[in-house]
Structure formats: C-alpha cells, structure tokens
Amino acid sequence: MTKTAVHPPSSQPMEEQHRPSTAGTTMAAGNVLLRVDVLLLPIMTVAYGLQFYDKAVLGSATIFGILTDLDLQVGKDLSRYSLATAAFYYGYIVGVIPAALLSQRLKVTGFLGASIILWGAICLLTPAITSWRGLVVQRVFLGLVESTVSPGFLLVTRQWYTSQEMPMRIGIWYSATGFFSVLSGLINYGLGTSTHSIPIWKTLFLVPGSLTVFFGIALLLLLPPSPTERPLLKIPGYNVFSEQEVELILEKTRDEMLSREQSKWNWSQVVEALLDVKVWIFTFMATAIYVVNGGVTAFGPIIIRSIGYTPTKAILLQTPGGAVTVVAILVVAFVSLRFKNARLILLCLGSLPVLIGAAMIWGSSWSNKAVPLVGYWLLPAFGAPYVMLLSLVGANVAGSTKSAYASGAVFVGYNAGNIAAAYILKPTEAARHYPTTWAIITAMMLVTMALAGLLAGIMAWENRKRDREGHTTKSQIEQLGGMAEDPVGRAQDDLASEESLKMHIELDQKDLTDKQNRAFRYVF
C-alpha cells in the first residue's frame, strides 16, 4: 500500500504553520471531515452491527428449537445455555488485549477485514453443530475472533478524529447494536414464520454469516489502513485523499497529543497502564454496565415470553428496545458535542432509563403486560453510558501502547460483565418475575454512577495540579501569539508561542503517555 508523504514546507516560519485556522482553512477542514465521515462511518456502523447480529442471534434461536435440539436445557435447568452464552465472552476476554496490541502494530485494515471474514465463516458453520458441547466450543472461537473489532474500531476513530469529534462518531458506529437489533428482529421474525426444509434455528445463523463474509471482503478492499495510506481498491473522491487533505487530518489529530501512529510496543507503558487507577475505573465501569446485557440480549426472548407473549411475538417485541438504544446513544453523543466536559454527567444521565426500566419490571405485578414490556424496552439504553465510556478512554489515554492496552482492558471489563450477565437470570424465579435479575441490574447502574463521580474528581484534580505546575496546553500556546496590544509585546508573545509549539511538536513525536506529558489535559 502506498503512503502519502506529508511534509510542511520548511520555508514557513513555525508560528505561521500553526496559527489558528483561517476561514478558508476551516472550510477545507470541514469538507475533509465530511469526506472522512462518509468513508468511515457507514463501514464501521455496518461491521459493528454485524458483530452484534452474529453473537445475538443465539438468543432468538432459543425459541425456535435450539435448546432441545442441542440439549441446552434439561428440564428447567438452563445452565448449559448460560455456559454457551458465556463461552463467547470467554473467547473474547482471552483475545481482546492481544487484538488491541496487534491492531496497533499490524495494518488495521487487513487485520480487521480478515477477522470479519473469519467470524462470518464461523457463524455460517453453526447449523453443522450437533451437541451443546460443540456449540460451546464454537462460541469460544467466535468470541476470540470478534474480539478484534471493538479495539480496532477505537483505534481507527483515534487515528482520524479529535477527542471532541470522537463521542459522536463512536456513538454512530456503536448505535449499530440498536439498528441491527431492530433489523435482525424483523429478519428473524420473517424466518420464524415461514416454512423451511431445515429447523428454523439453523436458518437464523445463515443470514448474518453470509452478510458478514461479504462485508469483510468489502472492508478489506475499501478501508485505508491510516490517514497516510491508500486502500487496496482506490476510488478517487471516496477513499483517496490528497496530500493537503491528509495534512489537515494529521494536523488536527496531532494537536491531541495522543500518539496515534506508533507501531512499536512499549512495555513500560503497559506497566504504567496497570498502575493507572483511571484505567481500572474504566474497566470496572465497563463490567458494571454490561451486566445489564444479560437482561436484554441473552435472556430477552425468554423474559418477554414470561410476560405472556408467543415465541414469534417475543422476537418482534425486542425491536423497540433496539430503537431505544439508537436514540439514547445519539442523544448523549450529540449533547457531548455542545458541552465541554459533560461526558461523565451524560454517562450518569444515560444510566437513569435503565434504572427506571428495571424498577418498572421489578415493581409491577405483570397483570398489565404493557408495564414490564415498556420497562424491558428501556433497558437497552445502557448503550448510551457505554459510548460515553468509550469516548472517555479514547480521549484520555495517551501513548500508543498504553492506549491500546487501556482499550483492551475496557473490553476485558465488557466481557467480564457479559459473562456475569449469562448467570443473572434464575429460571426458578419465573413465578416471581426474576427479582434477582432486576436487583443486580439496579446495583450495577448505581455502581457505574458512583465510579463516574470518582473518575471526575480524579481527572479534575489532576488538571488543576498541572495548571498549578505551569504546564500549558497546545491550544493555550496557540492563543499566545498576537495577544499583546503593543508591537513589542506582540513580538514577544509570538516568539514564546513559536518556541512552545516547537516543544509540543517534539513531544508529539516522543510517544509520551498522558502521565508523562504534563501539557496533557483530561477531558471528562
């Protein structure tokens, strides 16, 4: 793949190269941002949606015969099904940190494209399984391969967008879980109400598997490995950028000092990440948020059937929850663009619909089926706080290896939550409407909000400490030039601005972590 060489003209003074954008430059940057959005967001949204579809289809298969055909249920005992559900996340939790580190080191396009094709093939082979043990093994391998996509997409987002642009873009591609919840529900409902020569549950896996293989090939061909590299299949005006456009992308992301494009592993950064309390808080928050997933994905159809609906209606009635996911994610992402340092507040506000939904299910008698059903539809709003969490990780961890490790650690937490979620529903509590499930979900959301408050305090304290030390951010330096009213003072400010900017460019090239770079400021 060819790289686009980008060098700022050496004849330009430093202060001219890094002045605030003119109106023309601002317009050009806006046009480039739009082009990047048109290229990346549809690809990442569809790919992330297919990942959700491939793993979540097992829940729909439970009401079309897979439990009995593969001996996943013995009497009222669903422990084998719980194991098969958790097995996906066992594979994921093993693979996610190596995947995060490999995506930083390898060509991300080839790595992601090959992974997507492989997991599509694994999904396609599900109908060949004849026992519950075989399904457990298949789910482990599916999780192992799918562990590449989340850290890979977080890396892609960091390469192309600023920290202020990240929440909306992460929100868009992550909202695919909601879009595909609706789409897969409609597809599964159609398959479930039609006649087939093979068991219905087997047909449910063929559609997402085929789509995934096809799309993996498309991603492999169309997605550039980085802003400075060309894709395998070049389409001018779509996925090919000029040198000037690449420079605009690099300039705005360079200002973030997040060290996006280092390929060497730095084990000292891994040690720093292990000792960083913020990384641990990110991980625990991901765990707590994703325990909720057990009540939505793994056991959703079973819970809706318990409310009093038929199997096919249970599939169809899952789709409004997907719409709630999309709306909740896009609302918090949009608001985060308008208000600086509102992400943790939005994370807490996004947790409230989940608490309300759990209370409606837990506290109602279920004599009126609409009350627990609406409560169930509110549970998928947990995607909104998780998107805010991902944007916090992307914007607040610097150093190429440290950021890759932190991303992996968060997805380890994600998997730990999903593994725990596979066991939060007790079939023996069906007559009492599963009180343990809703108590656990409520507790996890409250823990998430408490950790958000702790994280805000730590980040605010660290920012104030660096301000007292006299370390200025790059944006503050850029504002120095030309601030004085008299010519002498203006010249002195310009000189100070130039020297400070030189220092920041050197810092950008050293792959410093957020702890090492005292000019770094946390965004929350």
Pair 311, 492: CB distance under 8 Å: no
Q: Taking the CA atoms of the chain, what radius of gyration do you get in angstroms?
A: 24
Pair 121, 217: CB distance under 8 Å: no
Give the residue-averaged pLDDT of 166-190: 86
**Superfamily of the domain at 28-469:** MFS general substrate transporter like domains (1.20.1250.20)
d(CA 5, CA 251): 14
Give the residue-averaged pLDDT of 342-362: 93
Give the residue-averaged pLDDT of 102-129: 90
Between 1 and 325, name the one with better pLDDT: 325
Pair 180, 50: CB distance under 8 Å: yes
Among the residue ranges 299-313, 398-412, 489-503, the one predicted with the least confidence is 489-503
Among the residue ranges 154-168, 321-335, 340-354, 383-397, the one predicted with the least confidence is 154-168
Q: Report the C-alpha dihedral over residues 409, 410, 412, 414, rounded to 10 degrees.
A: 180
d(CA 163, CA 396): 8
pLDDT at 15: 41
Statement: residue 170 has pLDDT above 70: yes
Pair 285, 448: CB distance under 8 Å: yes
Residue in this structure with the two tokens 């066992």, named with its chain if needed: 90
SS3 label, residue 198:
coil
pLDDT at 516: 87
Under 8 Å CB-to-CB from 310, ≥6 apart: which residues? none
Residues 200-212: pLDDT tens digits? 899 999 999 999 9
Give the residue-averaged pLDDT of 136-142: 94
Statement: residue 195 has pLDDT above 80: no
| DSSP annotation string for 293-304 | HIIIIISHHHHH
Pair 380, 362: CB distance under 8 Å: no
Q: What is the mean pLDDT of the chain?
A: 83
Grade residue 233 by pLDDT with cuts at 50, 70 and 90: very high
Residue in this structure with the two tokens 């994610």, named with its chain if needed: 329
Pair 243, 5: CB distance under 8 Å: yes
pLDDT at 508: 56
Between 106 and 32, name the one with better pLDDT: 32
pLDDT at 23: 54
Looking at mean pLDDT, say which of 156-165, 306-315, 339-348 comes out highest. 339-348
- Hey, what are 133's tokens? 């043990």
Residues 249-270: pLDDT tens digits? 888 776 555 555 555 678 889 8
- For the chain, the first-to-last Cα distance in angstroms comes to 37
- What number of other Cβ atoms are within 10 A of residue 122's Cβ? 20
Statement: residue 11 has pLDDT above 60: no
pLDDT at 256: 58
Nearest to 107 by CA among 159, 58, 185, 62: 159
Look at the alpha carbons of 335, 152, 42, 259 in this order and tell me if their dihedral is positive or negative.
positive
Residues 380-413: pLDDT tens digits? 999 899 989 988 988 898 888 888 888 888 988 9
Between 498 and 28, name the one with better pLDDT: 28
Between 124 and 407, name the one with better pLDDT: 124
Give the residue-averaged pLDDT of 480-486: 43
Statement: residue 470 has pLDDT above 80: no
Grade residue 114 by pLDDT with cuts at 50, 70 and 90: very high
| Encoded amino acid at 430, one letter | A
Residues 33-81: pLDDT tens digits? 899 999 999 999 999 999 888 888 888 888 888 999 999 888 777 889 8
pLDDT at 263: 54
Domain map (residue ranges) of the chain: 28-469
Among the residue ranges 22-36, 108-122, 357-371, 474-488, the one predicted with the least confidence is 474-488
Determine what percent of the chain is predicted with pLDDT higher than 70.
Answer: 85
Nearest to 18 by CA among 345, 378, 476, 430: 476
Statement: residue 24 has pLDDT above 70: no
pLDDT at 309: 86
pLDDT at 27: 72
Looking at mean pLDDT, say which of 78-92, 151-165, 272-286, 485-499 comes out highest. 272-286
pLDDT at 255: 59
Pair 137, 85: CB distance under 8 Å: no
Grade residue 133 by pLDDT with cuts at 50, 70 and 90: very high
